[in-house]
Amino acid sequence: MTVSRESYDVIVIGGGHAGIEAALATSRLGKNTLLITMETAALGRASCNPAIGGLAKGHLVREIDALGGEMAKATDHTGIQFKMLNRSKGRAVWSPRAQIDKKAYSAYMVNTCKSQAGLEIFEDEATAVTANEAGSVISGVLTRSGSSFKCQSLILTNGTFLNGLIHIGNKSFSAGRIGESASVGITESLIELGFKTGRLKTGTPPRIKRDSIDFSKTTIQAGDKNPEPFSFSTKNFDPPNEYCYITNTNQETHRIINGGLEFSPLFTGVIQGVGPRYCPSIEDKVVRFAEKTSHQLFLEPEWSNADQLYVNGFSSSLPEEVQLNSLRTVSGLENVEFIRPGYAIEYDFFPPSQLKATMETKRVKGLFFAGQINGTSGYEEAAAQGLIAGINASRSIDGSDAFVLERSEAYIGVLIDDLITKDTDEPYRMFTSRAEHRLLLRYDNAHFRLAEKGFKLGLTGQTLYEDVENQKALAVKTEAFFNSTYIKSDVINAMVETQATVKESQTLANILKRPGVSVEDIQSLLPDWVNDLSPTLLTLIATNTKYAGYIERERLQVERLSKHQQMRIPDAVDYLSMQAISFEARQKLDKIRPETIGRASRISGVTPADVSLLIILIKKNVSRETH
């Protein structure tokens, strides 16, 4: 490929889940975009598990779809097993998950990017970012092959590649992923610009040969029979339903793992980076939860009819023979053969408190970070950041307002707000418990919450937006009907026998609110136009009605938040001189330099009294400057 122009509106470095969403967003918003990747065929490659979605992550994927991103569509097109998690619980915590065909997923993304107008792909390794002389405004990128590109916005989505170092037992070698080179130079040029950096660690389990497994000794795990798609625009959804298999480790497995710990870089101290607690290696689990005699393992196909399976639950950096010997004690895996062993990887990240809520760095104008470079883990977390970085990189060129989602609006809002107000010391993953307005942020109302915003941004398509608006109107109409339609007491008492009898007639809404009553139970009371609504929409409406009290309470909590949450803090504010504020708070504020009062109030160690004082001192300073 030759370089057609040397200057672009936007350059994205990295073609992972963050980079793809960023590049697609900027090009769709009319910006000349260059995506620099070391290998075009690796666009959208899933480095770790062959799955998208899951608890809380499924919410992110739905939100990305509502805002015009690509991940949900790609998953619907290439998924080979779909499952709704937490189905036994309420809608707010249902979360879709899909096993994907990794090869098809990557091919879908390569194709989407290649056919996207305004997006060019260039195969090379970026080795340095360049800025103006003051180091305050980004100017472009240098590459390994000697090319130099100019741009107005630069989005870095380098994943685990920056000075990546793979560990397998006592062997360590430089790599970005297994079989791919690390990226060297970017970190150093960022340090030169004044950025702080750190090291994190993550890991992946072995990949094993299908024909070496005795599936008769495992438990089959299938997906849902009538699954829901991730994307609102997917119609006539009829995906495959391929199996995963469950088996378990035992005490003999653990004995072998314990015997190999002296060769584990995790326990010998060779690995310096901090790993995620929610995604521990098998050796970590065996040591920390020694009382557990067994751990579950999931054997997941990496693509349709794959000859290669992913051993979910067995992430490890033990020497290959320890991994293999211990795995061979597991039922069904007695003769297992590796395609490749599990490994751990250490990589550079940049503590995300150096970012604004737009994903732009505070230090260098026009420079954006998204994905694992910010210390997150997960495809979905990366894609969400990439999308927001792309949107804002484009808007900053236009001189438009920042696009920021509040914590009460989206999981994406929670994700980014958490990143920039906390200094994470372990890879950050989304959990539903991180969202204080969890009951408002359901996976099934993601489009109701965000499609309009996506449409106004220019990313969400008109058809999708109009479909969502129509459904919204139907929901409003149906909820009003539930609230205003009374049913006679004798009808109710005859119908729901297990419930306490009522003396007076009740609205449909009140009947739904009774414990244990679902919309299916009252179908006979509903007119055809309600029963004819799509089951997905009807369930959404019923959830809104049944838990109206809870939803209203959370809505009020959001409303009660002071308007001062939005108050902006000037960039140059001198926290250390604010004697009235506690010492601890001053230091934290100085380190994180929050953009708004709301974010200041969420920094640990900053008390409400400190925040009041901050407001006073800022108001005073602002008035002095303007007089």
Partner 1 sequence: MPPFVEDTIVAISTPPGIGGLAVVRISGSLALETINQYFASAQKLKPRYATFGKLKHSSLSEGEFDDCVVTYFKGPHSVTGEDLVEISIHGGAYLQQKLLEVLLRAPGLRAASAGEFTFRSFLSGRIDLSRAEAVADLIHAKDEAAHKNARNQLLGNLRLLVDAMSERLIHSLTILEAELDFSDQEIEFSPPQDLIGPLSEIQETTNSLLETYFYGRRLEEGIRIPLVGAPNSGKSSLFNLLLGEERAIVTAQAGTTRDTIEKSIVIAGHSIVLVDTAGLRETHSEAELSGVDRSLDEIDSADLVILVHAPDTETSVPDELIHTPQITVYNKIDLVSARPENMDIYLSCTTGEGFELLKKRLYSQVVNMVNVGVGGVVLSRERHRDVFIRFKDQITVCITSIQNQLGPEYIASDLRQALDILGEITGKTTPDDILNQIFSGFCVGK
- Give me the least distance between CB of 96 and partner 1, in Å please: 12
Strand partners, 343: 204
CB within 8 Å of 209: residues ≥ 6 apart: 307, 308, 309, 336, 337, 338, 339
Q: How far apart are CA 364 and CA 194, in angstroms?
A: 9
Residue 289 vs 486, nearer CB to partner 1: 289
Annotate 133-167 with b (16+ C-beta within 10 A) or e (fewer): eeeeebbbbbbeeeeebebbbbbbbbbbbbbbbbb
- With respect to partner 1, which residue has the nearer C-beta, 235 or 563? 563
**Residue 288 or residue 568: which is nearer to partner 1 going by CB?**
288
Shortest distance (Å) from residue 440 CB to partner 1: 10
Residues of this chain, 38-77, that bind partner 1 according to CB under 8 A: 49, 54-56
- CA 198 to each of CA 267, 350, 385: distance values in angstroms, whole numbers, following the listed order: 20, 6, 19
State which of residues 5, 6, 41, 89 lies at the interface with partner 1 (CB under 8 A). 89
Of 84 and 537, nearer to partner 1 (C-beta) is 84
DSSP element (H, E) containing 600: helix 597-601
Evaluate the CA torsion angle 368, 373, 374, 379 in order and state its sign: positive
> How far is C-alpha 606 from the chain's CA centre?
27
**Helix (H) or strand (E) run with residue 583 in it:** helix 583-592
Considering only the stretches 100-108, 169-177, 343-351, 603-611, report the one whose residues sit in contact with partner 1 under the rule CB under 8 A: 603-611
DSSP one-letter code for 365: B
Looking at residues 430 to 449 of the shown chain, list those that interact with partner 1 (rule: CB under 8 A).
Answer: 431-434, 436, 438-439
Kindly state the smallest distance separating residue 621's Cβ from partner 1, in Å.
Answer: 9
What is the C-alpha to C-alpha distance for residues 272 and 404, in angstroms, rounded to an integer? Answer: 34
At 434, which amino acid appears? R
382 binds partner 1 (CB under 8 A): no
Amino acid at 107: A
CA dist., res. 45 & res. 50, Å (int): 10
Q: In the bound complex, what is the minimum distance in angstroms from residue 180's beta carbon to partner 1?
A: 24
Query: In one letter, which amino acid is 447?
Result: H
* Binds partner 1 (CB under 8 A): choice among 41, 476, 576, 580: 580
Phi-psi region of 522 (alpha: psi -120 to 50; beta: other; left: phi over 0): alpha
Q: Which is nearer to partner 1, 135 or 605 (CB)?
A: 605
Strand order in the sheet with 165-168: 171-174, 165-168, 343-349, 198-204
Annotate each residue in 536-575 with x if it binds partner 1 (CB under 8 A) or - if it does not, as one string: -----------x--x--xx-----xxxxxx----------
Q: Identify the residue among 209, 210, 365, 422 touching partner 1 (CB under 8 A).
A: 422
Q: How far is the CB of 569 from partner 1 (least distance, A)?
A: 14
Work out whether 324 is an interface residue with partner 1 (CB under 8 A): no
Give the shortest CB-516-to-partner 1 separation in angstroms: 7
Judged by CB under 8 A, the residue of 292, 456, 477, 568 near partner 1 is 292
Task: Tell me the C-alpha to C-alpha distance, in Å, between residue 620 and each of 36, 569, 616.
Answer: 47, 12, 6
Would you say 196 or 292 has its CB closer to partner 1?
292
Show the 3-state SS of 76-131: HHHEEEEEEECCCCCHHHCEEEEEECHHHHHHHHHHHHHCCCCEEEEECCEEEEEE
Q: Which is nearer to partner 1, 175 or 261 (CB)?
A: 261
Binding-site member from 4, 39, 41, 90 for partner 1 (CB under 8 A): 90
Which helix (H) or strand (E) is 25 found in, with range? helix 17-28
601 makes contact with partner 1 (CB under 8 A): yes
Binding letters toward partner 1, positions 495-524, x by CB under 8 A: --------------------xx--------
The Cα 31–Cα 10 span in angstroms is 7
Structure tokens at 315: 């992430």
Q: Cα torsion at 312, 317, 319, 322 (round to 10°)?
A: -40
Choice between 251 and 531, CB closer to partner 1: 251
- Pairing label, strands 119-123, 33-37: parallel
Binding test (CB under 8 A) with partner 1, winner from 147, 212, 489, 612: 612
Helix residue ranges per DSSP H, 428-547: 446-457, 462-484, 489-495, 508-513, 528-531, 535-546
Number of residues that bind partner 1 (CB under 8 A): 63
Closest separation in Å from C-beta 383 to partner 1: 20
CA 448 to chain centre: 19
The strand pair at 171-174 and 7-13 is best described as unpaired
Specify the DSSP class assigned to residue 575: G
Calculate the alpha carbon distances from 612 to 510, 580, 606 in Å.
43, 11, 10
Smallest distance, Å, CB 473 to partner 1?
27
Q: Which among 129-137, 140-148, 427-435, 470-478 is the span making contact with partner 1, rule CB under 8 A?
A: 427-435
Binding residues among 186-225 for partner 1 as defined by CB under 8 A: none
Surface-to-core class of residue 443, CB atoms within 10 Å of its CB (0-12 exposed, 13-18 middle, 19+ buried): buried
Residue of 11, 13, 92, 451 interacting with partner 1 (CB under 8 A) = 92
The least CB distance from residue 495 to partner 1, in Å, is 19
| In the complex, minimum distance from the CB of residue 536 to partner 1, in angstroms, rounded to a whole number | 19
Residues 301-320 contacting partner 1, CB under 8 A: 312-313, 315
Of these, 230, 298, 455, 481, which contacts partner 1 (CB under 8 A)?
298
Residues numbered 227-286 forming contacts with partner 1, rule: CB under 8 A:
276-280, 285
Q: How far is the CB of 303 from partner 1 (least distance, A)?
A: 19
Which residue lies nearer to partner 1 by CB, 132 or 579?
Answer: 579
Which position among 93, 318, 373, 451 is part of the footprint of partner 1 (CB under 8 A)?
93
CB nearer to partner 1: pick between 19 and 351: 351
Residues that bind partner 1 in the complex, under the rule CB under 8 A? 49, 54-56, 85-86, 89-90, 92-93, 97, 276-280, 285, 288-289, 292, 295-296, 298, 312-313, 315, 422, 431-434, 436, 438-439, 515-516, 547, 550, 553-554, 560-565, 580, 597-598, 601, 604, 607-609, 611-613, 615-617, 619-620, 623
